Amino acid sequence: MDLQGATVAVTGGTGFLGGFVAQSIARADARVHALGRSDYDLRHRTEIDRMLADLRPDAVVHLAAVVGGIGANREEPGRFFYENATMGIELLEACRVAAVPKVVVAGTVCAYPKHCAVPFREDDLWSGYPEETNAPYGLAKRMLLVQGQAYRQQYGMNVVHLLPVNLYGPRDNFDLESGHVIPAMIRRFCAAVDTGVDDVVLWGDGSATREFCYVEDAADGITRALARYDGAEPVNIGSGDEISIRDLAALVAELTGYTGALTWDTTKPNGQPRRRLDTTRAEAEFGFTATTGLRAGLERTVAWYRSHGLG
């Protein structure tokens, strides 16, 4: 679709990823509405209907989600399933009824099976059950892929499903209870440096691997998909690079200036054993390739955290 002059509603547009996506789409001269829960509560169909009637968008980018790290997923699996499923299911149905021309849905890498061949290819999404600690969240998002494809088949609705990998960057959620691994590490190491603590305890044994994508790269990928991709098949959005949690911790420690010990609490879960995406479909379908290396992205994230007086 031609984004110039188009009206685009971005749910979750006041959040971490959503803010960057809204900025990216706006640079294409679209009229962007970056929406938060204070604007419309997407858990309620009447609110979604009101949003569509108010804005009459040419496209909706659905990024609103209840998210968190392993701890948050373990504490509230029911909420993570219900609210993510409800928001997505009701939004897609309301967009169908309102004849919204295009909807882009952000799924999650957590939808992939726990034991999936590496790199994760989109065709392997259904080859097993997700890792247990985030399965409710992952399956709620996986159902939106089913719904989008079913609506495309029955109603001819243009629903695009993307699978972003773990994201990080400036303006991330640095809360130790609900944040993901990179912001949590940055906060803990910065605090240790500031207070003189010489030992930081981390979850698991450090052997699990993860792929991380800088948030501005991911926003570019989503914008490209909105403009250029109309396919039924899901598409991975990531960097294609893999690092162990142990090596990640060493890198974050270096960049924050932490020189103390790292203690691994093996009573805590590692999460999924490995995680790395095959990103060839995104490059082939809409020309997306991540351009920010992990060290450079982490340097910017640490600098942002420090400059905003958060640590």
Could you give the residue numbers annotated as active site? 137
| Token pair for 272 | 């999924």
Q: How far, in Å, CA of 88 to CA of 85, rounded? A: 5
In the three-class reduction of DSSP (H, G, I as helix; E, B as strand; rest coil), residue 277 is classed as strand
| Token pair for 96 | 């169908």
| Token pair for 101 | 């021309």
In the three-class reduction of DSSP (H, G, I as helix; E, B as strand; rest coil), residue 261 is classed as strand
Is 37 within 8 Å of 66 (Cβ atoms)?
A: no
Tokens 């952000």 — which residue?
106
**Nearest alpha carbon to residue 285 among 165, 166, 167, 162:** 162
Cα 239 to Cα 128, 170, 174, 211, 213: the distances in Å are 23, 17, 22, 7, 5
- CA-based R_g, the chain, Å: 19
Other beta carbons less than 10 A from residue 99's beta carbon: 9
**Helix 135-155 to helix 77-97 angle, to the nearest 10 degrees?**
10
